[in-house]
A and B are shown apart, each in its own frame.
Chain A
Amino acid sequence: ILNVEQSPQSLHVQEGDSTNFTCSFPSSNFYALHWYRWETAKSPEALFVMTLNGDEKKKGRISATLNTKEGYSYLYIKGSQPEDSATYLCAFMKGFKTIFGAGTRLFVKA
């Protein structure tokens, strides 16, 4: 059974706060780890695809790190803005199979 756990389940922050979420996944037979951003009434959109232990990726104010040996990834948002409000999903890829975590729901208050 592939278990992808995300924490926290939800997070309320003020505009300007920096925040981070955790994704944990099976450390054996690692292939790739994805982060997706899912806005209400839309479809999930990929933020990062991470494959190497120690990978760090950045897109604007959002960045992510990967530790495949211990099976976790962090997503960081610097200076949160109301438009960052969304559900952030991580997905573990094993071969062709892509399993999603339940997501972290972020609410950014202006």
Chain B
Amino acid sequence: DAGVIQSPRHEVTEMGQEVTLRCKPISGHNSLFWYRQTMMRGLELLIYFNNNVPIDDSGMPEDRFSAKMPNASFSTLKIQPSEPRDSAVYFCASSHSGELFFGEGSRLTVL
């Protein structure tokens, strides 16, 4: 298995633009997590899904953030409109028995 696949690896965009981050979990994993890594807060849980259903989105910072999981093999995290303070590394992780397997992250820079 290729592991958790995230794209893009790097994105540089201007304030106000829409950003879409993508994640393909490991096949057979039924839980998917989106985390944001910042210097101030470390790994911050944004949202997680179980069997494609969002279970807890209380970590999503604002209405500008949204996440979807239309099927078991794909999830998106969207920021619209983006702001400079959204600059961070966004990690996707999947799990089937508790242990999380992380993607390599998407580094977002909003100018």
Contacts and interface: CB of A to CB of B under 8 A. Distances in A.
Interface of B is mostly: strand
Contacts of A102: 41-42
A35 B101 CA distance: 12
Interface stretch (B14-22, B43-51, B72-80): B43-51
Contacts of B48: 96-98
A98 B56 contact: no
B103 A100 contact: no
30 contacts: A32-B98, A34-B98, A34-B100, A36-B100, A43-B91, A43-B105, A44-B43, A44-B102, A46-B100, A49-B99, A89-B43, A91-B100, A93-B98, A96-B48, A96-B50, A97-B45, A97-B48, A97-B55, A97-B56, A98-B95, A98-B100, A99-B45, A100-B35, A100-B42, A100-B43, A100-B45, A101-B42, A102-B41, A103-B42, A103-B43
A45 B103 CA distance: 10
Contacts of B105: 43
9 nearest A-B pairs in the assembled complex, by CB-CB distance = A43-B102, A102-B42, A100-B43, A46-B99, A96-B50, A44-B102, A49-B99, A32-B98, A43-B104
A91 B45 CA distance: 11
Nearest to B105: A43
